[in-house]
Amino acid sequence: MEQPTPEEFARRIGDLGLAERRQVDHAMGELGGTEITLDSVIKQMQRRGLVTTLQTEKILRGDRVGYFYGDYKVLYLIGAGTFARVYRASKGDEVFAIKVLRKRFRDEPKEMEQFLREGSMGLKLRHPNIVSIHEVVADPRNPFLVMEFVEGQTLRELVRLRGKLPPKLALRLIHEVASGLAHAASMGISHRDLKLSNVLISSDGKAKLVDFGLAALSDRKNPEEIADCPNARAIDYAALERGTGVRKDDPRSDVFFAGNMLYHMLAGEPALTETRDRLARLNVSRFQEIKPISQFVPGIPGVVTQLLGKMMEFNPQKRIQSSAALQAEVRKAIDILEKGPGKASADGSTPSVGEHYDDDDVPTDEGEGYVVMLVESKAALQNAIRERLKSRGYRVLITQDPNRALSRFEPGDDPPADCVIFSAAELGTLALEAYNKFASDEHTSEIPSILLVDRRQARIISEARRGPRRQLLALPLKVRELRAGLIKVLTGTQRRPAGTY
């Protein structure tokens, strides 16, 4: 379609009801008497908040509909799947998520029924760990659900970004998921589509279940009904239920797939191999040949391994029997971890920096865009620091050799890390010399660095170079102390763009 003139673009904003005409006219007037281009008008309107990128694209395409759903003004596309799209939308000063059934399904009775029943189910569920549905609009030409808008990201995005999550953080999130499941189960509703992408993590770190679409299809009036596969999303549940000889909608199925989510958070990949191959997904061996979590997470606490075993037990009689029971079991595991950390192993290899889980409970983005290099010879301490920092968004590089660390920073090249942590607990003078050289060499003197030193290493403490971008931290230290030190020395350091580190 032929692109509109600058004046036509501005006029359409008012005609479509996206902004008041006086606001549009005022924005145009600010451009002055210079030659006005379409690009300059678009930038001005977006800068003034009169149109969003999505609205701009629709105007340029000549779209006449899709700017509003009822009284809700569409702002951005925030998610799209095979079945529906989800938009951020506003009504007055409030923000909502609008879930819209794709056009190709609106003439399909089963899909339309599923969509509307998802909405009616959601209207009943009010819980802090379930995304609320406020309104269901059943217009056959344009059906949509009005939902709570959650500022944040999906749990799948969090795991993809951070890799493996620390055990206590993973347990806290799965406890919140179990809490939402238990509330739904108390009203006779199961989820039947549990996966990381169906859990949202709010900006304050709370897990919230979304998409009870398949729960709406469950039929408890017919307990003898055999599990079926009405669509691709139901295959995994149906395969498990057929393979274990239970009927459709067994409440223990949600427990099993919650276990798959916990495994995914801890290992960085799911216990069940992800595939689009229908026959492969129906193969019952998928549920029986799961690799031990210890292969991916060496040193994982035994209580976590035991919990996973009970959640993903193939025999449903031996599995945790309900979402409420799961909630209680996870709480018990969290309590054991809270009492247990800090006790060294028989050989004393557990590092004190790994003793403190309290400030790693809520995921944040404080380390996003920063690369940290750790120079440490003890594997246990390497793992403890790496996992704690990764859970805060940092990328962590590890080396045991201080001189090798220095050689990575070549004059004239982009530095491989934004901060280097030298640990003198075992490396002693080698770490001190490398730390001081890093602080004095011209090409690294402005790069932040931290020296971890035992309080008994008096000579190292006295000889270590000081400076605004240098920090000495005494061992043993709490995670929050290391984080505070990093934040201090990294002040003023520009974060790296996503995808470049």
CATH of the domain at 465: 3.40.50.2300
Collapsing DSSP states into helix, strand and coil, what is residue 420?
strand
User: Is the domain of 312 the same as that of 450?
Assistant: no
Average pLDDT over residues 189-218: 82
Query: Residue 498 has what pLDDT?
Result: 66
Give the separation between CA 355 and CA 342, rounded to whole angstroms.
4
Residues 167 and 276 in one domain: yes
Chosen domain end from 149, 184, 206:
149
Candidates 61, 126, 137, 53; CA nearest to 99 is: 137
Report yes or no on 499 lying in a domain: no
The domain boundary, picked from 79, 114, 149, lies at 149
Q: CATH number of the domain that 129 lies in?
A: 3.30.200.20
Q: What is the pLDDT of residue 360?
A: 44
| C-beta of residue 227 within 8 angstroms of C-beta of residue 247 | yes
Mean pLDDT, the chain, rounded, equals: 85
Side-chain half-sphere exposure of 248, counting CA atoms within 13 A: 20
Domain count along the chain: 4
pLDDT of residue 217: 44
Query: What confidence score (pLDDT) does residue 365 get?
Result: 62
99 marked among binding-site residues: yes
Q: What angle do CA 450, 399, 169 make, to 5 degrees?
A: 75
CATH of the domain at 176: 1.10.510.10
Q: Are residues 165 and 289 in the same domain?
A: yes
457 occurs within a structural domain: yes
Are both 273 and 398 inside the same structural domain? no
- Domain-located, residue 346: no
Q: Taking 60 as the threshold, does the pLDDT of residue 347 lie above it?
A: no
Q: How confident is the model over 256-272, as a mean pLDDT?
A: 94
Residues 96-127: pLDDT tens digits?
999 998 888 888 888 888 888 888 888 888 99
In a domain, 14, yes or no: yes
Give a yes or no: residue 52 inside a domain. yes
Do 90 and 135 share a structural domain? yes
Comparing CA positions, the residue from 126, 165, 164, 131 lying closest to residue 148 is 131
Considering the domain architecture, whether residues 363 and 218 belong to the same structural domain is answered as: no
Q: What percent of the chain has pLDDT over 90?
A: 49
Same-domain pairing of 168 and 187: yes
Last residue of a domain, one of 149, 172, 195: 149
Tell me the average pLDDT across 364-381.
85
The pLDDT, as a whole number, for residue 359 is 42
- Is 185 a residue whose pLDDT tops 80? yes
Q: Classify residue 120: in a domain, yes or no.
A: yes
Q: What is the reported pLDDT for 357?
A: 34
Instruction: Check: CB of residue 236 under 8 Å from CB of residue 135.
Output: no
Instruction: Render pLDDT for 61-82 as a digit per residue (tens, 0 to 9).
Output: 998 888 999 999 999 998 887 7
- Predicted pLDDT at 445: 93
Lowest average pLDDT, out of 118-122, 164-168, 445-449, goes to 118-122
* Inside any domain, residue 96: yes
Backbone angles phi, psi at 217, to 5 degrees: -90, -10
Q: pLDDT tens for residues 391-436?
A: 778 889 999 999 999 999 999 999 999 999 999 988 999 999 999 9
Instruction: List Cβ neighbours of 330 (8 Å cut-off, separation of 6 or more).
Output: 171, 174, 175, 178, 307
Q: Are residues 165 and 293 in the same domain?
A: yes
Cα Rg, the chain, nearest whole Å = 27
**DSSP code, position 195:** -
Cα–Cα dist 438/124, whole Å: 61
Asked if residue 300 and residue 251 are part of one domain, the reply reads yes
Dig out the tokens for 213 from the structure: 């679409």
Indicate if 27 and 77 belong to the same structural domain. Answer: no
pLDDT of residue 95: 94
Asked whether residue 409 falls in the same domain as residue 334, the answer is no
Q: Which domain holds residue 186?
A: 161-339
Alpha-carbon distance 439 to 431, whole Å?
12
Helix %, strand %, coil % of the chain (to 5): 45, 15, 40
Is the CB of residue 227 less than 8 Å from the CB of residue 242? yes
* 177 within a domain of the structure (yes/no): yes
Prior bond of 298 cis (ω within 30°): no
Residues in contact with 459: Cβ distance below 8 Å, sequence separation at least 6, in sequence order: none
- How far is Cα 444 from Cα 411, in angstroms, rounded to an integer? 8
Q: Are residues 466 and 421 in the same domain?
A: yes
pLDDT over threshold 60, residue 219: no
Helices and strands, number each (H, E), in the chain: 18, 14
